[in-house]
């Protein structure tokens, strides 16, 4: 194998496949990436056995072939080169990296030892969605997800296509977020489906695909593929049933509070200085029903109180929340105005935005 590639393209490819470089004492080859040059395509591949990343880039192929290269050594060389044109050649189980003023030799491993990357068999079933829209949605719902070995079914984001809509849901049992993409926001050749994508895969999807206008998503019984023009990530899906989350979403609320998102966010950050180990802050309606009071106290530090002008309808309330959970709920919304809907101090509360009806965030109070 021999090819010539620009350093800029090489660094972009390495930045992509770095996300799936593995650490496995029993399979040291996972520290390598696979470089393939066939059919006019230059492809970089990495896997940690949970996800696999593939990246295609441009270059000149002189001799076709493939090679596995230790990622850390190769990346260090390329990053520190100061010339743009780089030649990569494999000969006698060695990889030669040369440029105008540099020559390096790296011991390689047999490409046949590199793990086989799984494939989706039926590529006729897919959905397409704008990349930035998908990434915004995944950023929002993934805030409610935490990795759990005890309950793997909530260690990912729930994808559901039904009734002409695409739903994304995340929960860690203490909070829940759902964002719905209407039929006009995506296209699909698939029948209705439900699956759970691991949170680590979601995080990589959010980081990847920069510059891609649209993503195609393919799936089968145990894996999912996200694909753009030159980048792919394939991942297993979580085996299990997602909780019946709709049953925990309250059907109505006794109190509705409309306030400015930015001021609510600032108040939480300010009073959190005095919150305890449980990140607890007290949220209550003001006596005249015209402001919301956020407070926290610590016997060793003192007390902090912040009053926010608000439009309050319904009963007054006094509840304790994890301030970080409230802050995460605000990050889902783009608009300045949000609503805090409450029933009582021990029932789920809801954060919504009047101008974004397709997103909801549910959070449990801390029982005092």
Domains with residue ranges and CATH for the chain: 2-113 (3.10.150.10), 126-245 (3.10.150.10), 251-363 (3.10.150.10)
Say what the pLDDT of residue 300 is: 78
**Res 277: pLDDT:** 80
Which pLDDT belongs to residue 368? 57
pLDDT at residue number 290 = 87
Q: In the prediction, which pLDDT does 323 show?
A: 96
Look at residue 108 in the predicted model and tell me its pLDDT: 85
The low-confidence residues of the chain, meaning pLDDT below 70, are 368
Exposed/middle/buried for 235, CB within 10 Å: 0-12, 13-18, 19+?
buried
The pLDDT value given to residue 287: 78
């Amino acid at each position: 194998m021999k090819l010539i590639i620009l350093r800029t393209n090489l660094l972009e490819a390495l930045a992509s496949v770095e996300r799936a470089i593995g650490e496995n004492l029993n399979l040291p080859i996972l520290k390598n990436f696979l470089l393939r040059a066939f059919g006019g395509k230059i492809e970089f591949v990495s896997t940690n056995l949970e996800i696999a990343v593939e990246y295609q880039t441009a270059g000149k192929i002189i001799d076709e072939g493939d090679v596995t290269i230790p990622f850390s050594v190769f990346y260090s060389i390329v990053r520190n080169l100061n010339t743009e044109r780089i030649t990569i050649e494999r000969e006698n189980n060695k990889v030669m990296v040369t440029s105008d003023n540099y020559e390096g030799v790296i011991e390689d491993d047999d490409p046949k030892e590199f793990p086989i990357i799984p494939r989706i068999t039926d590529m006729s079933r897919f959905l397409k969605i704008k990349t930035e829209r998908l990434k915004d949605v995944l950023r929002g719902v993934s805030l409610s997800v935490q990795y759990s070995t005890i309950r793997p079914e909530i260690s990912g984001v729930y994808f559901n296509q039904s009734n002409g809509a695409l739903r994304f849901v995340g929960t860690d049992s203490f909070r829940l977020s759902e964002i719905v993409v209407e039929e006009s926001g995506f296209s699909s050749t698939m029948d209705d489906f439900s699956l759970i994508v691991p949170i680590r895969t979601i995080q990589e999807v959010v980081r990847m695909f920069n510059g891609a206008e649209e993503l195609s998503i393919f799936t089968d019984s145990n894996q999912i593929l996200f694909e753009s023009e030159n980048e792919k990530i394939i991942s297993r899906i979580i085996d299990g049933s997602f909780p019946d989350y709709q049953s925990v979403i309250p059907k109505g609320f006794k109190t509705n509070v409309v306030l400015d998102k930015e001021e609510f966010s600032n108040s939480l950050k300010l009073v959190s200085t005095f919150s305890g180990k449980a990140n607890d802050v007290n949220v209550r309606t003001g006596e005249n029903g015209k402001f919301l009071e956020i407070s926290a106290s610590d016997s060793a530090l003192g007390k902090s109180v912040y009053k926010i002008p608000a439009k309050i309808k319904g009963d007054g309330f006094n509840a304790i929340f994890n301030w970080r959970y409230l802050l995460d709920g605000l990050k889902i919304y783009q608009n300045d105005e949000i609503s805090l809907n409450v029933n009582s101090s021990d029932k789920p509360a809801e954060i919504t935005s009047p101008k974004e009806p397709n997103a909801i965030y549910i959070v449990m109070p801390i029982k005092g």
